[in-house]
């Protein structure tokens, strides 16, 4: 049973005729429960007994839609022929021996706070976000219902860190190219789907006049919530609310979620530091918008108690034109990327969150070493790169190396499973021992092939 202001709620309709069924018309918000029929006091007691603090461990995952060019960003080969090296030159960073693209001066200035993985192997070859979001190769066998994505697994294992925030929020925009989108909760079901304020379920996210748009209006939100409370208090009869309804009520009657999504509450200088983009412009029509402010919203959600935030950023599939096509696009995208990612790393550090919040930036595969006059840099699953920051990890390093044309890993190959095992470890989850049951009741491990935590980072 859920109690607010000392009064219980029943299953009966509210005094204005708003039924429990209508109350449940909050779409994905209703899918935020942790699976147990706990009341808010029970959740608070359980958190207190487990020693849960005010700053839970968290992860921000940034998906670069379409496959970023590793050899133009973090693994430059200036001594290679022009058709391999391209026009970009490497610049030194604050870490001796670490060089990155000259278009990333802000990231170069804080390299001691990040790790570059240059040898990510085992990539699938198609435009498909599945492996990025759950670590499993999409062409390998999978259990009935499909593998859950990372945030859904965290939701299942840990639940919410606070009653006023869901465990998993997706800021991913829905791309018209279906495989670019998140795979969803898989066999864990809708109870562990992400809260998606940017998604297609936004029309269902309505509670007594509170819509997503009104979440951005603090005054309207509080007025609607106060009216809802008065109506519920008047009946004093809504008992036995299920876990989903209870969580949804906690979310919508709290100001934390609304404030986290409302950038008007943020210092304008911080907003400017990240930069802004138009969420209505989907890059190349089927990619994601180039919206750097999503990274700032992610940080605000983490501060509000969310454990995992995922977002998709721009579109990095630039092949198909002349030699200069991809580099013109890089000149457009790279500076914005440098600004917003460096702002996030700096922001987490300045706010004392860099040990608690881990950041991972990656795409579905790398790019061909040889630049074709017809297609530019094409898909290249042999090797990929990733950028990590925060998490209390040992940063200021490069992990792995590729050959002279950035075509193959020649030292310390890293798998998606290893990265995920490390992220689970950061959250306090032992991926070697923790399992979740699939639809057949069969326990499944969280990572592929019993991958181990990366010793370089921890």
Question: Which residues are 115's β-sheet partners?
Answer: 388, 397
Percent of all residues in the chain with a pLDDT value above 90, rounded to a whole number: 68
pLDDT of residue 346: 98
Q: How much is the pLDDT for 252?
A: 55
Three-state SS at 101: strand
Query: Is the per-residue pLDDT at 222 higher than 60?
Result: no
Select the CATH number that applies to the domain covering 57-199+255-450 from these four: 3.30.1910, 3.30.70, 3.40.720, 3.40.50: 3.40.720
Dihedrals φ, ψ of 10, to 5°? Answer: -105, 180
**Counting Cβ atoms within 10 Å, is residue 433 exposed (0-12), middle (13-18) or buried (19+)?**
exposed
Position 152 pLDDT exceeds 80: yes
First to last CA, the chain: 42
How high does pLDDT run on average in the chain?
A: 83
pLDDT of residue 380: 96
Q: Provide CB contacts within 8 A for 254, sequence distance 6+.
A: 163, 164, 165
What pairing do the DSSP bridges indicate for beta strands 114-121 and 384-390?
A: antiparallel
User: Structural domain boundaries of the chain?
Assistant: 57-199+255-450
Residue 449's pLDDT band, with cuts at 50, 70 and 90, is confident
> Do the beta carbons of residue 438 and residue 406 sit within 8 Å?
no
Instruction: List b or e across 183-214, with b for residues whose CB sees 16 or more CB atoms inside 10 angstroms.
Output: bbbbbbbebbbbbbbbbebeebbbbbebbbeb
Residue-wise pLDDT for 18-32, tens only, equals: 433 333 333 333 333
Interior CA angle at 209 toward 205 and 214, to 5°?
Answer: 70
Asked if residue 8 has pLDDT above 90, the reply is no
- 398-410 pLDDT, tens digit per residue, is 999 999 999 999 9
- The answer on pLDDT for 226 being more than 70 is no
């Amino acid at each position: 049973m859920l109690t607010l202001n000392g009064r219980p709620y029943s299953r009966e309709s509210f005094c204005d005729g708003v039924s429990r069924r209508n109350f449940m018309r909050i779409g994905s918000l209703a899918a935020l429960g942790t699976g147990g029929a706990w009341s808010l006091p029970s959740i608070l007691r359980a958190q207190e007994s487990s020693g849960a603090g005010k700053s839970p461990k968290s992860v921000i995952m940034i998906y670069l839609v379409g496959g970023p060019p590793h050899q133009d960003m973090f693994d430059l080969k200036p001594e290679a022929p022009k058709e391999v090296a391209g026009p970009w030159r490497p610049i030194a960073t604050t870490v001796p021996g670490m060089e990155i693209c000259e278009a990333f001066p802000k990231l170069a200035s804080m390299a001691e706070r990040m790790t570059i993985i240059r040898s990510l192997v085992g990539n699938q070859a198609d435009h498909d976000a599945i492996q990025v979001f759950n670590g499993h190769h999409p062409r390998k066998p999978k259990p009935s219902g499909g593998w859950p994505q990372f945030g859904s697994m965290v939701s299942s294992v840990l639940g919410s860190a606070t009653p006023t925030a869901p465990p998993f929020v997706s800021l991913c925009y829905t791309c018209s190219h279906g495989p670019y989108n998140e795979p969803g909760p898989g066999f864990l079901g809708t109870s562990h789907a992400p809260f998606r304020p940017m998604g297609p379920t936004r029309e269902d996210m309505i509670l007594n006049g509170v819509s997503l748009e009104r979440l951005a209006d603090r005054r309207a939100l509080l007025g609607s919530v106060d009216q809802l409370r008065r109506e519920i208090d008047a009946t004093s009869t809504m008992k036995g609310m299920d876990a989903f309804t209870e969580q949804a009520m906690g979310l919508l009657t709290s100001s934390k979620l609304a404030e986290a999504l409302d950038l008007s509450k943020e210092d304008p200088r911080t907003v400017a530091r990240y930069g802004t983009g138009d969420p209505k412009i989907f890059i190349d029509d089927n990619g994601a918008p180039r919206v750097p402010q999503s990274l700032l919203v992610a940080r605000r959600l983490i501060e509000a108690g969310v454990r995992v935030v995922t977002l998709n950023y721009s579109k990095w599939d630039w092949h198909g034109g002349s030699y200069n096509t991809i580099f013109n696009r890089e000149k457009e995208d790279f500076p914005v990327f440098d600004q917003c990612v460096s702002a996030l790393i700096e922001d987490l550090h300045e706010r004392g969150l860099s040990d608690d919040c881990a950041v991972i930036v990656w795409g579905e595969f790398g790019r061909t070493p040889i630049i074709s006059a017809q297609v530019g840099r094409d898909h290249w699953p042999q090797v990929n790169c990733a950028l990590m920051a925060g998490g209390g990890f040992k940063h200021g390093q490069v992990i792995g190396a590729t050959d002279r044309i950035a075509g193959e890993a020649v030292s310390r190959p890293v798998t998606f499973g290893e990265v995920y095992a490390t992220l689970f470890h950061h959250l306090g989850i032992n991926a070697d021992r923790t399992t979740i049951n699939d639809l057949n009741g069969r326990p499944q491990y969280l990572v592929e092939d019993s991958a181990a935590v990366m010793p370089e980072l921890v």
